[in-house]
Amino acid sequence: AIDIKTLRAETGMVTIDPGYKNTGSCESAVTFLDGEKGILRYRGYSIEELAEKADFLEVAYLLIFGELPNKAQLAKFHSDIKEESQVDEEMKKILDGFPKSAHPMGVLSSLTSALVAFNPTSVDVSSETAMYNSIVRILAKFPVLVAWTLRKKKGLPLDYGDDSLGYVENIHKMMFKRPNQEYKKDPIAIDALDKLLILHADHEQNCSTSTVRIVGSSHAGLFASLSAGISALWGPLHGGANQAVLEMLEAIEADGGDTKKYMAKAKDKDDPFRLMGFGHRVYKNFDPRAKIIKKAADDVLGNLGIQDPILDIAKGLEKEALEDPYFVDRKLYPNVDFYSGIIYRALGIPTEMFTVMFALGRLPGWIAQWREMRLRKEPIGRPRQVYIGENLRSFVPLEKR
């Protein structure tokens, strides 16, 4: 007898929507995105205005708590973060266990998960105070983990931050301070980093953010939810695209810079090659972040006196795509990842670290979405399915198979 529901009509009200192309998972007041018009706002403020006028820590506060902080609120927030800026020395042993060749995203996700063991109260999600404590803790310790991950790659000694500095300046120092050399403030690099972090800070229910919310919905704790989010971000169809874009641009350059050849490959349905950094699930118009980053790439490279042939290749690809019916018809425009790697490279960040930089920027967004999910007391995330496999059958012993 058939006891499974094989007919669509028998499955009840289950919507099948692979990739959740049309399914909302929550109501959210954090980020507004209009993909047709190319609009992005955090808590009602346009990304263009925030990138120009705010700093990353203010934006983090805005995303997480819903309003821009006044001076006293910002000072208290920063001071609470500084209080937590130490990472247990034992964590260095965990980092030591990884080969130097390990991908930084795997290292970062593991270290973020391992932080739970050294901060056991971080699993407490029962009150706003407990959540606040975990939030400032991770905002303090995550940049240390990012800096350590980079320093391990470069074979530099692991260090802690400098509490006398601003949040992003401190990150820059932790990443780039050379042993036995005084750290020199580099305003151009710090401003560029600040802007990039703001532009990556949230993007509503993308793959990694949805992952953070769904893991958090089981009350798994903030750090574990973030670790899962980092893994989701790693993939080349999501945050990993920034690494993939640069590798693609380098490959085009090494191949003689023939952009037309690669445009043809991207359009060829029998060729797995895609133009990395192009296309977006929601934007069917220019990604407003890409516009800001393209200009920032010009400014930063100009200010640092760098001429990077890869920037010309990127601009060439963009120009061709904007005139090509394949890309025009499918509304494929450059996304946030298309120009970001060129700036990271100019700042001296290795290609494999690009997605880690994305994670650093996205941290406040993940936290804001996790906190919203908790405060709204959302139920555990548990999608349904329509079963299409075998009906009941009898077990066949191994020797008879």
Binding part of the chain for ligand ACO, among 77-85, 88-96, 238-246, 311-319 by CB under 6 A, reads 238-246
Q: How many residues bind ligand ACO (CB under 6 A)?
A: 20
Catalytic residue flag (residue 280): yes
Residues 169-198 that bind ligand ACO (CB under 6 A): none
Instruction: Among 4, 16, 117, 237, indicate the residue that binds ligand ACO (CB under 6 A).
Output: 237
Measured in whole angstroms, the distance separating CA 376 from the mean position of its chain's CA atoms is 24
Residue from 200, 203, 238, 280 carrying the catalytic annotation: 280
Q: Is 337 a catalytic residue?
A: yes
Task: Select 141 or 289, whichever has its Cβ closest to ligand ACO.
Answer: 289
C-beta of 81 vs 321, nearer to ligand ACO: 321
Note whether 327 and 278 are within 8 A (CB): yes
Burial of 320-355, coded b for 16+ CB within 10 Å and e otherwise, reads ebeebeebeeeebbbbbbbbbbbbbbbbebebbbbb
3-state SS of the chain is: CCCCCCCHHHHCCCCCCHHHCCCCCCCCCCEEEECCCCEEEECCEEHHHHHHHCCHHHHHHHHHHCCCCCHHHHHHHHHHHHHCCCCCCHHHHHHHCCCCCCCHHHHHHHHHHHHHHHCHHHHCCCCHHHHHHHHHHHHHHHHHHHHHHHHHHHCCCCCCCCCCCCHHHHHHHHHHCCCCCCCCCCHHHHHHHHHHHHHHCCCCCCHHHHHHHHHHCCCCCHHHHHHHHHHHHHCCCCCCHHHHHHHHHHHHHHCCCCHHHHHHHHHCCCCCCCCCCECCCCCCCCCHHHHHHHHHHHHHHHHCCCCCHHHHHHHHHHHHHHHCHHHHHCCCCECCHHHHHHHHHHCCCCHHHHHHHHHHHHHHHHHHHHHHHHHCCCCCCCCCCCCCCCCCCCCCCHHHC
**Minimum distance from residue 254 beta carbon to ligand ACO (Å):** 20
Stretch that binds ligand ACO, among 63-71, 127-135, 335-343, 385-393 (CB under 6 A): 335-343
The residue from 55, 202, 287, 337 that is catalytic is: 337
Cβ 231 to ligand ACO shortest distance, Å: 14
Which residue, 146 or 174, is less far from ligand ACO as judged by CB? 146
CB 218, min distance to ligand ACO, A: 24
Q: How far apart are CA 281 and CA 21, in angstroms?
A: 8
Q: Does 43 bind ligand ACO (CB under 6 A)?
A: no
Min dist. Cβ of residue 164 to ligand ACO (A): 34
Of 337 and 352, which has the nearer Cβ to ligand ACO?
A: 337
Decide whether 135 or 146 has the Cβ nearer to ligand ACO. Answer: 146
Q: Does 275 bind ligand ACO (CB under 6 A)?
A: yes
Tell the smallest beta-carbon distance from residue 401 to ligand ACO (Å): 39
Q: Which residue from 20, 225, 235, 25 is spatially nearest to 138, judged by alpha carbons?
A: 225
Query: Among residue numbers 276 through 305, which ones bind ligand ACO (CB under 6 A)?
Result: 276-281
Segment lying near ligand ACO (by CB under 6 A), choices 127-135, 191-199, 270-278, 373-381:
270-278
Query: Does 33 help bind ligand ACO (rule: CB under 6 A)?
Result: no
Min separation Cβ 178 and ligand ACO, Å: 32
Distance (Å, rounded) from C-alpha 132 to C-alpha 373?
14
Q: Nearest distance from residue 361's CB to ligand ACO, in Å? A: 11
Residues 314-333, interacting with ligand ACO (CB under 6 A): 330, 332
- Selected from 82, 219, 265, 274, the binder of ligand ACO by CB under 6 A is 274
Beta bridge partner(s), residue 39 = 34
Q: What CA–CA distance (Å, rounded) separates 328 from 309?
A: 26
Shortest distance, position 203 Cβ to ligand ACO, whole Å: 7
**Interface map 128-157 toward ligand ACO (x if CB under 6 A):** ------------------------------
- Report the residue number, 12 or 19, with the smaller CB distance to ligand ACO: 19
Nearer to ligand ACO, 58 or 202 (CB): 202
Q: Is 239 in the site for ligand ACO (CB under 6 A)?
A: yes
Catalytically annotated residues:
280, 337
Task: Return residues touching ligand ACO (CB under 6 A).
Answer: 19, 206, 237-239, 241, 266, 274-281, 330, 332, 335-337
